[in-house]
Structure 1
């Protein structure tokens, strides 16, 4: 059995998930001047939990991070957020979570995700797992901040 587990989050987990997301994305805030969308809204966490989109990541039964997914329809899963606390980095947690994520929704054929353009560790990690960069865009045309789009086809 793996040391890493995904457990569907409950309403009681919302603050824990938000606090850990804010900590995990603090570097993005420092680099880009803002957090990823919705991370600052506890209501958003509550809604995602209510819609069964948020999972707690456990490593050896300790809370290690979060995973938020969305069924985008037609066999596509959107990984909205994945984050692993610094204390659990380099233990294979992220890789195990990404592997488990592929089985969370029925009939998944493609996984899609976004990551900041300067998140070099993320780029390497996703590409190592078989994701391909398929695009990039500026969420705000008046800002230099850019997002890279990645996708992975399953069962090709």
Structure 2
């Protein structure tokens, strides 16, 4: 696991779209933000977020991003290449992202309500559901947090 740099943006975006394609199928919605994000938008995200990448044989096979607001670190868009899933990469990326923010009081993230594998991964890392956002259309969001205190 290492920090990604803006020069990785094109590969990160391709990976994100490939990984989130499964979510598009699951929700029958290919307009989800991770699937429609542009390269320019991702490059702007580097201004506010830290990106962590997982590399295998010189190819980026996983990524996650995080940013701090006050005492909370927001984690987003955990993505693992479909050919590399179920090997602990997502867990390692999450742990690496959390380790880069040792001074926060809590971590927060969200995922879709049908994303059972993601929800179970986050629960195994100590996250708990604290809110369900039913207003989000068309996908209901499950908001999870992990307190560090």
- Please give the range of the TM-score, normalised by the shorter of the 2 chains: 0.7 to 0.9
Deviation at 1:44, TM superposition (A): 1.5
Structure 2 unpaired stretches of 5+ = none
Deviation at 1:29, TM superposition (A): 1.5
The superposition leaves residues 7-66 of structure 1 with CA deviations (integer Å, 9 ceiling, x where unpaired) of 222222111111110010012222321343254221111012244522222246542111
Structure 1 unpaired stretches of 5+ = none
Higher share of residues assigned helix? 2
Of 85, 97, 101, which aligns to 1:105?
101
The superposition leaves residues 77-106 of structure 1 with CA deviations (integer Å, 9 ceiling, x where unpaired) of 000211111222122111122222222124
Q: Which residue of 2 aligns with 1:53?
A: 50
Q: Which residue of 2 aligns with 1:90?
A: 86
Q: Distance in 2 between matches of 1:20 and 1:114?
A: 19
Change in CA separation of 1:144 and 1:10 when aligned onto 2, cut-off 3 Å = closer
CA RMSD, Structure 1 to Structure 2 (Å): 2.0
Q: Secondary structure at the match of 1:43?
A: helix
Task: Give the structure-2-normalised TM-score.
Answer: 0.87
- The reply on whether 1:37 has 2:33 as its aligned counterpart is yes
Q: Distance in 2 between matches of 1:106 and 1:126?
A: 18
Check conservation: 2:62, 2:93, Cα contact below 8 A: no
For these two proteins, the number of residue pairs brought into alignment is 147
Task: Give the structure-1-normalised TM-score.
Answer: 0.83
